[in-house]
């Protein structure tokens, strides 16, 4: 183990899409904890990846509006990559799986690992109130550390209002530097969404508070803890947390934000502080590094078995019973019976999927350099079925997807519920 020294699209299936997005009505997620993680098949016994299908998923992503898209699979038989389109619309450079990009909420898995290492070091307990560690911070002493990590605190997501108008919302914060306290206050100014612990309701606020806990307990910046506990030990040379620097250093991908107004040109959103997200979403990485990280995590190289078990204890996030959330970690159950673990990310200009099998033997990272374009995100999710189930996604057509699938993406009947529909309808988050 590498433990540290101290140890909104509407109508058709709207409810389904909303819950998949993690913005579910409380009812869908109030169910009792899901059964324990499925075990088979794992990386060793899965169908072989279908590289044509992988490419088709990327082409579908481009057809849905992404300038570029890529996917990288690694397993004991080696590394396979597919790319389509461009990584920069001005230079015309081709998409490149070695280039860096913003990973959005995949950052939450890194934050969870740091916090769970602190649990392993007995510096914090999952079921103790957050206010025990940060006295008076939250308005309810019943909110525990576990509630934060499972999105069950009831703290509203301040980013819903912040990005209600997509481009104006983004431009208003692009160069802004927030303190944690300022972000938390934005949430506290809104009504809470649930009683603590009652239901799953995805909120970036939870992981802002996780960042505050990390800094309080370690007396270091969260950036230093990511570096010391994960990035350095795993040799993730292309992974960084540079908040509030606005650049992505080195070879990188340019990200493009889709305006809400139909036909308006894409906005280059590559440079920003991501201060609005911080420990909830401000990291930069590459497909290789994300696969190394997810694989090491699932192989038990970052956490004690007790903490990894806690992370893998999942509850459903939607009514399909194929999408689950543990502690800063998602599980998707795919059509071939495989369960994959990881996280998704949406940050202006970038969609990411970073998943691995329970044994960590097969990993896949996919990204597209567009956002606020739900159909592109759904199409990109088709890479999961291709990589882990060897299954073809529905083929894109000019008007959407073939095979009778709804315009939002491949039909659930094709095996994969619409993968991660972040903001199902523009302006309706």
Active site positions, annotated: 105
298 in Cβ contact with 341 (< 8 Å): yes
Q: What is the spatial distance between Cα 25 and Cα 77, in angstroms, rounded to a whole number? A: 42
Considering the rule CB under 6 A, would residue 104 count as an interface residue with ligand HEL? yes
- Binds ligand HEL (CB under 6 A): choice among 86, 297, 405, 423: 423
Considering the rule CB under 6 A, would residue 348 count as an interface residue with ligand HEL? yes
- Binds ligand HEL (CB under 6 A): choice among 13, 342, 345, 382: 345
Q: CA end-to-end span of the chain, whole Å?
A: 40
Considering the rule CB under 6 A, would residue 64 count as an interface residue with ligand HEL? no
Considering the rule CB under 6 A, would residue 371 count as an interface residue with ligand HEL? yes
Considering the rule CB under 6 A, would residue 326 count as an interface residue with ligand HEL? no
Instruction: Name residues contacting ligand HEL, limited to 171-200 (CB under 6 A).
Output: none
Cβ 48 to ligand HEL shortest distance, Å: 27
349 in Cβ contact with 274 (< 8 Å): no
Cβ 338 to ligand HEL shortest distance, Å: 20
Q: What is the spatial distance between Cα 45 and Cα 14, in angstroms, rounded to a whole number? A: 35
Nearer to ligand HEL, 255 or 406 (CB): 255
Considering the rule CB under 6 A, would residue 272 count as an interface residue with ligand HEL? no
Q: What is the spatial distance between Cα 343 and Cα 38, in angstroms, rounded to a whole number? A: 17
- Binds ligand HEL (CB under 6 A): choice among 166, 273, 317, 322: 166
- Binds ligand HEL (CB under 6 A): choice among 313, 322, 372, 408: 372
DSSP-H helix ranges across 221-286: 222-226, 232-234
Those residues with Cβ within 8 angstroms of residue 53's Cβ, 6 or more apart along the chain or in another chain: 382, 385, 386, 390, 391, 392, 393
Q: What is the spatial distance between Cα 331 and Cα 338, in angstroms, rounded to a whole number? A: 10
Bridge-partner residues for 340, per DSSP?
Answer: 332, 357
How many residues belong to the site for ligand HEL (CB under 6 A)?
A: 25
DSSP-H helix ranges across 134-286: 145-149, 159-162, 166-173, 180-188, 204-218, 222-226, 232-234
Nearer to ligand HEL, 206 or 286 (CB): 206
Applying CB under 6 A, which part among 39-47, 67-75, 205-213, 416-424 lies near ligand HEL? 416-424
Read off the DSSP letter of residue 144: B
Considering the rule CB under 6 A, would residue 163 count as an interface residue with ligand HEL? yes
Those residues with Cβ within 8 angstroms of residue 389's Cβ, 6 or more apart along the chain or in another chain: 46, 47, 334, 335, 336, 338, 415
Instruction: State the CB neighbour count (10 A cutoff) for residue 32.
Output: 7
Reading the block at residue 400, the tokens are: 């959407």
Nearer to ligand HEL, 133 or 200 (CB): 200
Considering the rule CB under 6 A, would residue 159 count as an interface residue with ligand HEL? yes
- Binds ligand HEL (CB under 6 A): choice among 84, 289, 333, 420: 420
Considering the rule CB under 6 A, would residue 243 count as an interface residue with ligand HEL? no
- Binds ligand HEL (CB under 6 A): choice among 72, 201, 358, 429: 429
Strands (DSSP E) along 249-309, which ranges?
256-257, 267-268, 284-285
Considering the rule CB under 6 A, would residue 318 count as an interface residue with ligand HEL? no
Residues making contact with ligand HEL (CB under 6 A): 21-22, 104-105, 159, 163, 166, 169, 202, 204, 257, 281, 344-348, 371-372, 420, 422-423, 426-427, 429
């Amino acid at each position: 183990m590498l433990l540290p020294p101290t140890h909104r699209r509407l109508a058709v299936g709207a409810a389904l899409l909303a819950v998949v997005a993690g913005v579910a009505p409380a009812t869908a997620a109030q169910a009792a904890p899901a059964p324990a993680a499925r075990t088979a098949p794992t990386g060793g016994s899965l169908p072989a990846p279908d590289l044509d299908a992988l490419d088709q998923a990327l082409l579908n992503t481009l057809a849905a509006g992404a300038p570029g898209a890529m996917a990288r699979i690694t397993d004991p038989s080696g590394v396979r990559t597919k790319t389509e389109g461009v990584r920069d619309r001005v230079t015309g450079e081709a998409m490149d799986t070695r280039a860096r990009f913003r990973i959005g909420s995949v950052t939450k898995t890194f934050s969870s690992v740091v916090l769970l290492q602190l649990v392993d070091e007995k510096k914090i307990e999952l079921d103790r109130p957050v206010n025990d560690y940060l006295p008076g911070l939250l308005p309810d002493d019943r909110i525990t550390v576990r509630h934060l990590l499972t999105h069950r605190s009831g703290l509203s997501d301040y980013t819903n209002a912040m990005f209600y108008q997509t481009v104006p919302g983004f431009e208003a914060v692009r160069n802004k530097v927030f303190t944690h306290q300022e972000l938390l206050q934005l949430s506290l100014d809104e009504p809470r969404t649930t009683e603590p612990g009652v239901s799953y309701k995805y909120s970036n606020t939870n992981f802002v508070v996780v960042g505050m806990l990390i800094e309080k307990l370690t007396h270091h910046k969260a950036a230093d803890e990511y570096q010391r506990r994960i990035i350095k030990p795993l040799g993730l040379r292309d992974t960084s947390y540079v908040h509030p620097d606005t650049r992505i250093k080195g070879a990188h991908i340019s990200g493009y934000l889709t305006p809400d107004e139909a036909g308006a040109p894409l906005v280059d959103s590559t440079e920003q502080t991501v201060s609005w997200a911080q420990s909830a979403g401000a990291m930069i990485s590459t497909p290789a590094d994300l696969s190394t990280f997810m694989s090491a995590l699932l192989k038990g190289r970052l956490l004690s078995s007790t903490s990894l078990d806690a992370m893998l204890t999942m509850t459903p996030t939607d009514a399909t019973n194929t999408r689950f959330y543990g502690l800063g970690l998602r599980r998707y159950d795919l059509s071939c019976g495989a369960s994959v673990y990881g996280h998704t990310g949406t940050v202006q200009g970038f969609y990411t999927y970073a998943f691995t099998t329970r044994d960590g033997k097969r990993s896949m990272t996919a990204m597209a350099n567009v956002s606020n374009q739900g159909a592109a995100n759904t199409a990109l999710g088709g890479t999961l079925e291709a990589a882990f189930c060897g299954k073809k996604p529905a083929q894109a057509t000019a008007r959407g997807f073939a095979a009778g699938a709804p315009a939002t993406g491949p039909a659930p009947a094709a095996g994969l519920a619409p993968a991660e529909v972040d903001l199902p309808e523009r302006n309706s988050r």
